Chains A and B, each alone.
Chain A
C-alpha cells in the first residue's frame, strides 16, 4: 500500500514511517500541509495520514483543498485534540476517519486497513459471506452451513460490521464507534463480553472458528481455508 504521512513533529513522523514500512507499506512523508498537498495531488496514494496542527498549512485546510481539486484519496486525521467536536470538524473537512493522539499503532493499522478496503468496495451488497457464514442484510438473518443463527439486533449490527471488514483487524474502539456510536473507551471490557457472546453463537457448534482474537489489537473475522 502507498501511504502518505503528513506530520510536522519529526519524532512522530519517523515513528509512523518506520512502523508503516515494517508493516509492509510504501511510505512518503511531508512535514507540513503545503508539501503534503503537493505530494497528495501528484502521487497516487491509497491513503493519507494527516496531522491536524501543522505549520504553513494545517491538516483541515490541506484536506479541504484536496477535496476541492477532486482528489478522493481516503484521509485519516491524527490529532492531539481528541474532542468530539474536533472530530466532527475533521470529518466535515473531508476526512474519512479520525484518530486521537496518543494511539496504539495496531489501532492505526486497523483503521488504515478499513479505510482502504472501504474505498475499494463501494458497491451495494445485500448478502455478505465469510466461509460458510452468510448474512442476509434484507431479511436480517444469519446462517452458518445452512443452519440459522439467532441474533439480537445489536449482535446483527456487530456481525455485519465484522463481515464487511472480514480478514481485517478490527479494534475495540472501532467497534464501539461504528456499532454503538460511542466515542469513548469504557473502563470495563464490554466489547470483549459482547464478542465472546457472539463467538458462542457463531463458532460453538461448528468446526472451524471464524472469529479470532488478535492479541494486543482486537478481533478479526476470517475463514482460514
Chain B
C-alpha cells in the first residue's frame, strides 16, 4: 500500500463521479433558486403591489373630492391627511407648480415620468432634530384647471422588510450551494477512493503480484459487488496461470531430458574420435532416435493444443465408432498376440457420433496402446463401441492391468503426468492428455473407472439426433470396410 488515496483537487474535476455530483449540485441549486425566487415574489413583491394599490385608491378618492368640493375642499383634505399620517405623501400644486398643500417639500427630480407610472423617489422630512431623507413612491395626476396632485406612500418600512427577506433568501441560497458542493465532493471522493483502490490493485497485479485482491467492505453495495466479481475473476486467472506455469515447467523438464541425451550422444561421437565406424553410426542412429522422440512429443503437444482450442471443430463429420473400434483392434491385434494379451472387440452395431475421424482414431490408438502396455501376459483388453437404448453412445477400452488408483485418475489426464509404476516404461506422459483433449473437443466426457482389476477408460459422447444417425453411414463410409466385422483374436 502506498499511503492513503490522495487525489489532487484538479484531478477531482476530471473524475466521472465528481462530474456526476457537480451536475447534481447544479440542478439542486437551480431548483432552490426557483423556490426562493417564488418566495421573494410572494412576500416582497406583495408589499410593493399593496402600496401601489393604496396609492391608486387614494388618487381615485382625492379626484372625487376635487370634483365635488373644488380646489379649496381638496386643499383642506390634503392638509388634514398630511398632518394625520406619515405613511401617505401628498403635494398639491397650482398649474405653475407652486405648492398649495402637502407633506412633500419638493418635486421629485423625474416628476414628468410620474404621469404614467408609479415612480420611486426620495424626499426630505423633518424628524426630531434633523431633516431625514426617506424613500417614497408616488404618482402624479393633473386635475381640471391644471392643478397638479402628487400622491404617494412612504416606502422606508417596506424597503427594509424587502431587504431583510432578500438577504435571508440569499443566505439560504449560499448555504444550500455550499452544502451541495461539499456533499458532492465528499461523495465523489468517497467513491473515487474505492475506485482508486481497485485501480491500484489491478496495477499491482499487472506488475506481477497475482496474489493481490481488492478489499471488500462487506456492505454489499455495487462497488462491493464489482470488487467481489473482479476478485473471483482474478482467482480464476491465477488458477489458469498456475496451470500454464505447471505445463510449461513440465514441458521444459520433459523436453530437456531427451535433448540432453541427444546432446550427449552427439558429443560422444565428436570426442570419441577413435571409435569404430560402426559405433559412430550406432551413436548417430541413437541421436536420430532421440530427435524423433522429441518430434513425436512436440507433435502430440501441438495436437493437444489444437484439440483444446477447438481448431478442428469445423471439420467434424459423422463417424461410426464401430469402425474406429474395428480398425484399431485390427491394427493392434498382432501386437497383443505377441505380448500374450487377448484383444477383444464388442461393437455389434453402428455407433454414429459427430467427430474428427483422424483424431478419434488417434485417441483410440492411445487408449489401446496404454492398455496393452500395462496389461500383463495372459490378461485381456476389450474395446467396446456401443449406443445402448436411451443412453449416450460411448467408446471404451478396458484392461486387466494394475489400473489407476482413484486419487490419480484426474491427474493422469494432465500433460506429462506419469505414475510411479510407469516410470520404467517408454512413453511421454501425453497419451491420456491427448485423449482428454480429443474428448473435450467432441464434447465427450472421459471416465476412468476401476475394471476390477484394471482400468476402464470410457469416452461418453453427446447423443445425436436420430435422423442423421440413420442417414450417415452409407455416405461417409465408402467401401472402406470391406473387411469382415469383429476380428477373431486370440
Contacts and interface: CB of A to CB of B under 8 A. Distances in A.
A184 B365 contact: yes
A102 interface: yes
Interface string B451-490: 0000000000000000000000000000010111001000
Contacts of B338: 193
A1 to B, nearest CB: 25
Contacts of B372: 188
Contacts of A187: 296, 369, 426-427, 431
Contact of A153 (B302, B334, B482): B482
Give the dominant DSSP class at A's interface.
Answer: loop
Nearest to B426: A187
Contacts of A193: 334-335, 338
Interface in A126-178: 152-154
B439 to A, nearest CB: 17
B361 interface: yes
B433 to A, nearest CB: 14
A189 B334 CA distance: 10
Interface string B204-215: 000000000000
A183 to B, nearest CB: 6
A102 to B, nearest CB: 6
A182 B361 contact: yes
B335 A183 contact: no
B365 A182 contact: yes
A47 to B, nearest CB: 25
B480 A181 contact: yes
Chain B binding surface, main DSSP class = helix
A154 B483 contact: yes
A153 B334 CA distance: 14
A183 B358 contact: yes
A84 interface: yes
Interface string B329-357: 01110110010000000000000000010
Contact of B332 (A183, A185, A190): A190
Nearest to B292: A104
A85 B299 contact: no
B427 A85 contact: no
Given A84-B358, A102-B295, A190 B483 contact: no
A181 B361 CA distance: 10
Contacts of B369: 186-188
Given A85-B312, A184-B365, A193-B338, A153 B483 contact: yes
A83 B306 contact: yes
Given A102-B295, A182-B361, A188 B335 contact: yes
Given A82-B299, A184-B362, A188-B372, A194 B334 contact: yes
A180 interface: yes
B331 A190 contact: yes
A203 to B, nearest CB: 17
Interface centre among B302, B334, B372, B482 (most CB of A within 10 A): B334
A216 interface: yes
Interface in B284-322: 285, 288, 291-292, 295-296, 299, 302, 306, 312, 315
Contact of A154 (B296, B330, B361, B365): B330
B461 to A, nearest CB: 20
- Greatest chain B CB density within 10 A among A185, A190, A216 is at A190
Contacts of B327: 180-182
Nearest to B358: A84
Contacts of A216: 285
A197 interface: yes
B331 A180 contact: yes
A152 B373 CA distance: 25
A180 B329 CA distance: 11
Name, among B302, B331, B361, the residue most crowded by chain A CB atoms within 10 Å (CB to CB). B331
Contacts of A181: 327, 480
Contacts of A153: 482-484
A196 B302 CA distance: 33
Nearest to B281: A216
Contacts of A152: 487
Contact of A85 (B292, B315, B365): B315
A182 B327 CA distance: 9
Given A85-B315, A153-B482, A216-B285, A190 B299 contact: no
Contacts of A184: 299, 358, 361-362, 365
13 contacts: A84-B315, A85-B315, A102-B291, A181-B327, A182-B327, A182-B365, A183-B358, A184-B299, A184-B365, A185-B296, A186-B365, A187-B369, A193-B335
Given A83-B306, A182-B365, A188-B335, 4 more contacts: A153-B482, A154-B330, A187-B431, A194-B334
Interface of B: 285, 288, 291-292, 295-296, 299, 302, 306, 312, 315, 327, 330-332, 334-335, 338, 356, 358-359, 361-362, 365, 369, 372-373, 426-427, 431, 480, 482-484, 487
For the complex of A and B, the 9 pairs showing the least CB-CB separation, nearest first, are: A193-B334, A153-B483, A84-B358, A193-B335, A184-B362, A197-B334, A194-B334, A190-B335, A193-B338
